[in-house]
Amino acid sequence: MQGVGFRPFVYRLAVGYGLKGFIRNTASGVLIEVQGIPSLLEEFTRRLLSDRPPLSHIEAIEASTLACVVEEGFVIGDSISGVGVETLIPPDIALCSDCRRELLDPADRRFRYPFINCTNCGPRYTIVERLPYDRPFTSMRSFPMCPECEREYHDPLDRRFHAQPNACPVCGPSLALLDAAGTILQGDAVAEAVAFLRQGLIVALKGLGGFHLAVDAGNEDAVRRLRERKGREAKPFAVMMRDMELVGRYCEVSEGELAALTSAQAPIVLLKKKKGAALAFAVAPGNDRLGVMLPYTPLHTLLFDGGTDLLVMTSANFSEEPIVHDNEEAMLRLKGIADAFLMHNRPIYLKCDDSVTVHLSGELRQIRRSRGYVPAPIYLKETGPAVLAAGGELKNTVTLLKGTHALMSQHIGDMKNYEAYRHFEHVAAHLQHLFQAVPELVVHDLHPAYLTTQWAMKQSVPLLGVQHHHAHLAACLAENREDGPAIGLILDGTGYGTDGTIWGGELLIGDASGAERFASLELMPLPGGDAAVVQPWRAALGYLYRSCADLPELPFMKERRIEPVLELLQKRVNIAETSSCGRLFDAVAAICGLRGEITYEGEAAIALMQAAGGRVGSQAFRSALHRENGRWTILVSPIVQDVVAALQQGMAISDISQRFHRTLVNCFRQIIDKASSATGLKTVALSGGVFQNTLLFETLVLELQNAGYRVVTHALVPSNDGGISLGQAVIGRKYLKGSYRGVR
Ligand code: ZN
Ligand code: ZN
Ligand code: FE
């Protein structure tokens, strides 16, 4: 990987042992030639592995013995360049401790310079336009280095040797604070911005991968104002906190969570809130977790050093559009949202949101894989031809396979608006260009209406449409370097089935080549199709209509016009049939009166999980497995009937939710047992967006492990639709090898 300080590290190591020779980049990695006393060569090799720079990654070392030659010393040689040079661009990296120290040191020439960086930290992926990763091909090209920076850049012993974005106040980018009208304000931009934030104003901050909207997270009115202006009613905001001491004041932090927060990737980590911590309620209403991150750029560090403790930091955009990254665009699109703009003149070439993670069952798991992780490859077990996968629709990513590398893009967003589509096209083209791969196949979802499918249809490359949940299964296996076959439990929102129904509660047995649909949740009617996704009360009516002989009268039906919806159900007009597990959560949440309408994906399901208070009950509702035409159905109607009966008997919603979770865990365990006895398989793969339900996920993993299963789960890529492009791509390779069977 370029730009992570590997060559200078090797240089220092070799010189330290008095070894002679060279290091140079080659088409497939680096070539090191060293000569010296054998015991020192051994030491050198050992430390090559143990002391390597934190951002470097060694896939393999091949060594051979050569005859001695006359050599002067150790040199960093020129790169062996040529067609097909395989180099990886590193992700954007959080401010390192050395740079942080210099930033706050009045004697340092970069004291309070917001663009300080070195080989171990700073912008990378977001500023690179093309390979090789050299300054002229980055958005730093408009800033020629001053003699002092130039000297550092060329000194192999300097921390800034070949640090492409190297800059200082003399030669590098600079900061400016603008008011809402776009007038540049005089004075210290950082100090003024801090003053604005402390007054409760909304400041648009230009960061690494785009603009953030920042506001004081302790100021209820300010946070509410941000919600109103951004058109974001209830979806939780992430908070950036000054340091770990502050994080500990508001949240429970485990060792694994601490490691994630302070890592070079510096993602948002969803932490458990401490009870009674005085954060504005509007930050994350009705959620026991809070998205937290630490300052990761020098600018953030200066803002917090200037006297802020907690800032809501949310991607600057309107509703679900992609993040804003360009200065003019920001002034235009954030008009009426931001009270001030803290921006700089280093262009962002590629926008990239913050990554979102959660630490569950002993591992850090991606929910949104973006800044800090992209474009680091996911290492596949096998090599093969180049394949490009277009992803799904929600939380879209694209994946390019090249050799053993799966190069997954950053989070692109929901492909429902023109801005997102443009961003998608740019990223898909950029990945191929950056990594110099020409795909032999483009893979897309089976859903004909997805914008990504329509984009794929326009490519002049052979195409393959892949079933959504098969892609989920394949993604889970691929990131775990598992061949399968495995028992795949895919619990999801929506995915286009092969039989005209909407799938989403599936037990698939198979691998990347193909899978058998062993079982699924009972089909339920969704009146109005997609309208039922944003209005779970419609789904609730459908589930009740199908499950109950007489439609019960429940509080959620009051003040809603249910007659037209019932008419659709009676006449079977405009009805989608679904086995979705996400919709089952929505329907039960609405039946319980928790959420009839939602303002963001998963809102009703989250409310239902929150109601359980972190506990899965010991009692369960009735459920049953039913076998028909060689396939199992997990009956949903008895569960719905029991939920209604419980409500009518006045059972507390928390009890109902705990029982509901217990029921699902039991059903899934039973069907997995059946699949296991039918096939002899003991490996279970869990995928799909419903596994973001931490309660369901952790309970199921634990109970399956206790029952002797090997459980394979997502960690490197999201279990939600952000992960399916990986699965699609891997399936695409099977297709090119002639072993693709699809889903039966
Ligand atoms: Zn640094
Ligand atoms: Zn300089
Ligand atoms: Fe999905």
Does 337 share its domain with 381? no
Nearest ligand, CA 466: 3
Residue 184 belongs to domain with CATH number: 3.90.870.40
Strands (DSSP E) found in 430-485: 441-445, 463-466
Distance 205 CA to ligand 2 centre (A): 24
Q: Once rounded to an integer, what is the mean pLDDT over residues 337-361?
A: 95
Measure 78 CA to ligand 2 centroid, in angstroms.
24
Domain end point (choices 303, 322, 344): 344
Q: Which of 32, 49, 76 is the last residue of a domain?
A: 76
Can you give the CATH number for the domain in which 728 is found? Answer: 3.30.420.360
Query: How far away, in angstroms, is 603 Cα from ligand 3 center?
Result: 16
What is the count of structural domains for the chain? Answer: 4
The answer to whether residue 652 is domain-embedded is yes
**Local confidence band at 114 (pLDDT 50, 70, 90 cut-offs):** very high
Q: Do residues 181 and 325 both lie within one domain? A: yes
Q: What is the widest separation between alpha-carbon atoms in the chain? A: 93
Distance between Cα 239 and ligand 3 center (Å): 27
H helix intervals, 553-648:
563-571, 581-591, 603-611, 637-648
Instruction: Report how far residue 741's alpha carbon sits from residue 744's, in angstroms, rounded to the nearest whole number.
Output: 8
Distance 98 CA to ligand 1 centre (A): 6
User: What is the Å distance from ligand 3's center to 601 Cα?
Assistant: 12
Nearby residues for ligand 1 (ion, Cβ within 5 Å): 96, 99, 118, 120-121
b/e string for 38-67 if b means 16 or more Cβ within 10 A? eebbebbeeebeeebbebeeeeeeeeeeee
**Shortest-distance ligand to the CA of residue 392:** 3
Whether 165 and 17 have beta carbons less than 8 Å apart is answered as no
Task: Give all strands of the β-sheet with 441-445 in edge-to-edge order.
Answer: 378-379, 405-408, 399-402, 387-389, 441-445, 463-466
Residue 247 lies in a domain: yes
Name residues whose C-beta falls within 8 Å of residue 38's C-beta, 6 or more positions apart in sequence: none
Is the predicted pLDDT of residue 327 greater than 90, yes or no?
no
**Whole-number percent of the chain with pLDDT over 90:** 81
Half-sphere exposure of 314 (CA within 13 A, CB side): 27
Q: How confident is the model at residue 86 (pLDDT cuts 50, 70, 90)?
A: low
Q: For residues 474 and 526, state if they share a domain.
A: no
| pLDDT tens-digit readout, 672-697 | 999 999 999 999 999 999 999 999 99
Q: Separation of 174 CA from ligand 1 center, angstroms?
A: 18
Q: Does 545 fall in a domain?
A: yes
Q: Which ligand is nearest to the CA of 146?
A: 2
**Within-domain flag for 633:** yes
Relative to the alpha carbon of 109, which ligand is closest?
A: 2
- Poorest-confidence range of 297-306, 411-420, 503-512, 600-609? 411-420
69 band by pLDDT with thresholds 50, 70 and 90: confident
C-alpha 541/C-alpha 590 separation (Å) is 9
Q: Which amino acid is at 189?
A: A
Provide the residue range defining the domain that includes 673.
521-682
Across the range 312-336, mean pLDDT stands at: 85
Ligand nearest to the CA of 475: 3
36 in Cβ contact with 19 (< 8 Å): yes
272 occurs within a structural domain: yes
The verdict on 430 and 557 lying in the same domain is: no
Which residues neighbour ligand 2 (ion) by CB within 5 Å? 146, 149, 168, 170-171
Distances (CA, A) of 505 to 225, 542, 632: 39, 17, 12
Do 726 and 664 fall into the same domain?
no
DSSP 554: -
* Same domain for 529 and 396: no
- For the stretch 385-425, pLDDT in tens is 999 999 999 999 999 999 999 999 999 999 988 889 999 99
Residue 638 belongs to domain with CATH number: 3.30.420.40
- Regarding whether 330 and 427 lie in a shared domain, the answer is no
The verdict on residue 110 lying in a domain is no
**What gap in Å lies between CA 596 and CA 121, rounded to an integer?**
46
Q: Give strand pairing partners of 525.
A: 577
Interatomic CA distance for residues 184 and 527, integer angstroms: 53
**77 band by pLDDT with thresholds 50, 70 and 90:** confident
Domain boundary among 682, 697, 731: 682
3-state secondary structure of 141: coil
pLDDT digits (tens, 9 = 90+) for 494-547: 999 999 899 999 999 999 999 999 999 999 999 998 899 999 999 999 999 999
Nearest to 436 by CA among 384, 382, 400, 463: 400
Backbone angles phi, psi at 539, to 5 degrees: -60, -40
Q: Are residues 318 and 193 in the same domain?
A: yes
Same domain (yes/no): 548, 614: yes
DSSP H helical segments within 279-319, as ranges?
A: 298-305
Asked if 298 and 424 sit in the same domain, the reply is no
Residues 6+ apart with CB under 8 A from 376: 1, 57, 88, 90, 91
Instruction: Give strand pairing partners of 365.
Output: 358
SS3 135: helix
**106 domain residue, yes or no:** no
Which residues are found with C-beta within 5 Å of the ion, ligand 3? 492, 721
400 shares a domain with 317:
no
How far does the centroid of ligand 1 lie from the alpha carbon of residue 352, in Å?
20
When the pLDDT of each residue in the chain is averaged and rounded to a whole number, the result is 93
Kindly give, in sequence order, each residue whose CB lies less than 8 Å from that of residue 151, ignoring residues fewer than 6 positions away. Answer: 158
> What is the distance between the alpha carbons of residues 120 and 5, in angstroms, rounded to a whole number?
7
pLDDT tens column, 372-386: 999 999 999 999 999
For residue 27, is pLDDT > 70? no
Are 200 and 276 within one domain? yes
Q: What ranges in 167-219 are assigned the alpha helix state H?
A: 189-198
* Least confidently predicted of 6-10, 297-301, 596-600, 704-708: 6-10
Give the Å distance between the CA of 651 and the centre of ligand 1.
57
- The CATH number linked to 30 is 3.30.70.100
| Beta bridge pairs of residue 239 | 292, 312
Residue 130 forms part of a structural domain: no
